[in-house]
Amino acid sequence: MERRPALLAALLAASLVVTTLAAPALVSARPAYEIPVADVDDGATLDTADGEEWTQAPSAGVPLSSSGAAVPGGDESTVDEVRVASARTDERLYLRVSWADPTRDTAAGDVRQFADAVAVQVPVNESARPPIAMGSTDNRVNVWYWNGLNVSQELLAGGPGTTTVLDDSDLESNATYRDGRWYVVLSRPLTDSSDDRTTFSTERDVDVAVAVWNGSSMERSGAKATSEWYYLALGPGPEGPPYETILWLVAGLGMVFTTLVTIEGIRRTRGE
């Protein structure tokens, strides 16, 4: 009979180890604010939103809210979420942003007409996190921009109102509108010799933020929906913040302690 508590304790200890290792993966697919980056060998089909290789890239839901910029309509944006998937080859980084938009706005031919648009910003110097609103003069952002007129531009910004088009960009874009949703792929070589463009190392994660404009709501400039800072999981890990493991360990120890106390209580009640 004396072996039973010891056996139970051993079983509990084993289950604790298993739970601590497996539970984070089961309960939360990835840490908050992470956009996973799939490592793809070829990349031949990543250029289009429907490319087969995109099935290998899990997407992350990114909530958006009004930018609150000091322009008319700066707090009245209409898009509240985008899904962002990312993949890389040895040479290029690809981002696929998709969002629901019941109106497909692809013209700006009238004074009151504005095109849908999307932009992602990354820090020029990826080792520091710039201010979310277009960076700052000493901490600039590199912006990849596409709009419904099929204009894609690589921009440099050092604060609101400073966006400047970078010439000779290798940015490529491809957009599809299907079933009330935009799917826009933006891609660029990982490395760039210019000081004004981000060079992506695969050694570390890189911050990224997203903005979307709904043309039919006359959104443009700072009248847009924006995300918080997320990060592209380009680095080798760790899988998530260490506190997550610690929390699971504490919870497991608690479970073991409670169980042992209960067993001891039952034994005493029985007078063993």
Site of interaction with another protein (CB under 8 A): 69-72, 108-113, 149, 160-163, 218, 220-222
Q: Report d(CA 93, CA 140) in Å as an integer.
A: 20
Give the nearest distance from C-beta 110 to another protein in angstroms: 5
Place of tokens 């008319």: 72
Give the nearest distance from C-beta 166 to another protein in angstroms: 13
Which lies closer to another protein via its Cβ, residue 51 or residue 222?
Answer: 222
Closest CA to 208 of 146, 160, 141: 141
Query: Is the Cβ–Cβ distance between 139 and 130 less than 8 Å?
Result: yes
SS3 11: helix
Which lies closer to another protein via its Cβ, residue 145 or residue 200?
Answer: 145
Residue positions counted in the chain? 272
Q: Report d(CA 61, CA 59) in Å as an integer.
A: 7
Which lies closer to another protein via its Cβ, residue 94 or residue 146?
Answer: 146
Give the nearest distance from C-beta 169 to another protein in angstroms: 16
Give the nearest distance from C-beta 70 to another protein in angstroms: 8
Which lies closer to another protein via its Cβ, residue 139 or residue 221?
Answer: 221
Query: Is the Cβ–Cβ distance between 198 and 206 less than 8 Å?
Result: yes
Q: Report d(CA 89, CA 93) in Å as an integer.
A: 7
Give the nearest distance from C-beta 109 to another protein in angstroms: 5
Which lies closer to another protein via its Cβ, residue 6 or residue 111?
Answer: 111
SS3 240: coil
